[in-house]
Structure 1
Amino acid sequence: MADNWLTSLQTATPQEGYELAIKLSRMAIKYTQPSADVRDKLRPEYGENADALIAVSQVVATNFQTVAAANAYWK
């Protein structure tokens, strides 16, 4: 993927930081499984699986920690 979408981890607010964390998480899936057809096929399986949804939340939380640290916790 040649798309240069991540130019900085710096964000103006924690809300923007959280949205960036979600984008980081989503892009990791896109890079891991580049086929949109396959992702669409799998979505119903994990979309109704509590363990999978909790795992997604954990990944987003980890990415949010990274973004928060990069922004000096918005101090």
Structure 2
Amino acid sequence: MDNWLPTLIVATPEQGFDLAFKLSRMAVKKAQPSEDVREKVRKDYEDDAESLIAISQVVAINFQTIAAANGYWR
């Protein structure tokens, strides 16, 4: 996991979205390194619409960053 983010440059918007999702997941993993705790709290938000919308917002913000880094694929 030493070099999990070598670049923000990707070939397509779909790859950019995948990277945005990975950035979001890695932020959670770094903030809460215990896999057991992450699994336990997942039950608290997996059926909560507001939590899922919040997750989508985080991914969208990361996608904006990646899109800008890639010149919006123009």
**1:33-44 → structure 2 map (5 Å cutoff):** 33-44=32-43
**1:1-75 → structure 2 map (5 Å cutoff):** 3-75=2-74
3-state secondary structure, aligned to 1:18: helix
Structure 2 regions of 5+ residues with no counterpart? none
Identity of aligned residues (%): 62
Alpha-carbon separation, structure 1, partners of 2:2 and 2:39:
21
Q: Which amino acid aligns with 1:42?
A: V
3-state secondary structure, aligned to 1:4: coil
Structure 1 regions of 5+ residues with no counterpart? none
Alpha-carbon separation, structure 2, partners of 1:11 and 1:37:
32
Q: Which amino acid aligns with 1:19?
A: D
3-state secondary structure, aligned to 1:48: coil
Alpha-carbon separation, structure 2, partners of 1:5 and 1:45:
28
TM-score under structure 2 normalisation?
0.97
